Structure 1
């Protein structure tokens, strides 16, 4: 009864159509999952969100997993659940959370993922987890990893995939603090010749592409906009939406709008996180990343970069940064230096990148 109600027939239809990678999807029975999660014990809860609760579990073979227990039993919502199974079965990328299977024999449907141990990116940005602090190098690396995963989804997957809810709360960090994109419940795959989806507007306030909000047409550039918000979070340490202090009525400020206004008024460095200011090899590299973020947040989707262009910009900053730091370290070990030509070259090359991005 539960299997049918939870979309089992729809999933079987997808399996038979060849749209699902059968080798990647295991249908777990309810006993396996209850045992793995200690009957969904409260002390196994990893997190809770709009779509459900995630539990930590251990399978009979010793593998640690994350079990997502959906909130809904409404039939109209089940297509989103089955959609996530279908989408994730098609994805094979080191920076995307891997699905292991699902269980449809329980009152609400369950998804089983690989376990990612170190929480969400938003928790680190906002200082909720203090055991590991986000250095500027790590922030750049995480941004590059997320950009790489999105570029893969948009262009390298078997069908182009739009995530549709990119935000720091949906980016997990693994045991080596590498980024893993999660939560594909609202994602959609499209045929190669399609350029957009026309859908009911869905997303997170503060991260949602305003062009999509106006037109209901979601394109790959809508994901680019949301990535731009994440990049600004990494630069500033601020939330995508924050309450405005001192206002008589309850008001909220969009980080994207605040960031763009600050850049227009030459106030970027008043907004940048103190750790970024301290660890950046030069103000120029901060400016390059900020310009890249501003391009991602362009109100006109056509003028935003592709994720492949974003990767190129971020990698240019990282390469130039390594070269500049290496030159600085070498000069510290030498008694005399006629000029700082290597370091100057890097700053100049970064300035050229800044002009491009």
Structure 2
């Protein structure tokens, strides 16, 4: 494994590694969260991740629970967070990235026998591959869909970045795919205004959006009653009509 650190989060650190002659991303779990519960959960979720195949989900390559648990995935050159911090992306890219992310989440939500909730949708977890063109052509892939049920350091902690979380996130009885829809709406705001999400600025940010189609979609994704939000299937249909 190289010393090139790609990212760091609540669950561990991601570095570049060599696997059978390929450059891959290796995510190791923090020693502080290694417990019998998390090892068991990790094994179950890696088994599920190995069965997931979608062009807009980061490709799972392998995992190990021996020693320091580690996940290997395909390596992507950049993230949406990095591109937004570097000046943002063009409007055509916003639409294409939005559609890619919606397709990835829709696949997870329709997964059988039980839907998979991501619960940590954010610009840091949307990875990008340049596709050529005029500087705004990207293929987006959603990452970190395989570690959503690991217990954090505090049992009262909720997965995900608080600024993206739906109001019902802290009520287990109301957990549903609609939580990801809310986070997706926050992600859309972040792409359009090119600012890190801020709950205090959210109303003003939405008012400032000039694209009526996106503005309307964002407002519906952020409806407080989770039962009234659109599904990812609805969102895909709307975005396809906009592109």
Note closer, same or farther for the CA distance 1:165–1:87 as it changes in structure 2 (3 Å cut): farther
Structure 2 alignment gaps of length 5 or more = 132-137, 150-155
User: Per-residue displacement from partner, 1:48-69 (whole Å, max 9, x unpaired)?
Assistant: 1111111112223x22211111
Q: Is the 2:148–2:159 contact (alpha carbons within 8 Å) kept by the matching residues of 1?
A: no
1:174 Cα shift?
2.1
Are 1:78 and 2:39 an aligned pair?
Answer: yes
Deviating more after overlay: 296-305 vs 309-318:
309-318
Match 1:68 to one of 27, 45, 52: 27
Distance in 2, matches of 1:290 and 1:234, equals: 12
For residue 95 of structure 2, what is the aligned residue in structure 1?
140
Equivalences, count:
229
1:82 Cα shift?
2.2
For residue 308 of structure 1, what is the aligned residue in structure 2?
233
After superposing on structure 2, the runs of 4+ consecutive aligned residues of structure 1 that deviate more than 4 Å are: none
Distance in 2, matches of 1:121 and 1:80, equals: 28
Match 1:207 to one of 157, 164, 180: 164
User: Per-residue displacement from partner, 1:94-149 (whole Å, max 9, x unpaired)?
Assistant: 0001111112333x1111111112x211111122xx6xx51110111000110011
For residue 111 of structure 1, what is the aligned residue in structure 2?
71
Q: Is the 1:69–1:111 contact (alpha carbons within 8 Å) kept by the matching residues of 2?
A: yes
For residue 8 of structure 2, what is the aligned residue in structure 1?
48
Q: Is the 2:39–2:65 contact (alpha carbons within 8 Å) kept by the matching residues of 1?
A: no
Structure 1 alignment gaps of length 5 or more = 1-36, 189-198, 242-253, 273-282, 319-357
Helix, strand or coil at the partner of 2:163: coil
User: Which of 1 and 2 has higher RCO (CA within 8 Å, sep 6+)?
Assistant: 2
Distance in 2, matches of 1:221 and 1:104, equals: 32
Are 1:230 and 2:155 an aligned pair?
Answer: no
Between structure 1 and structure 2, the one with the greater Rg is 1
State TM-score, norm by structure 1: 0.59
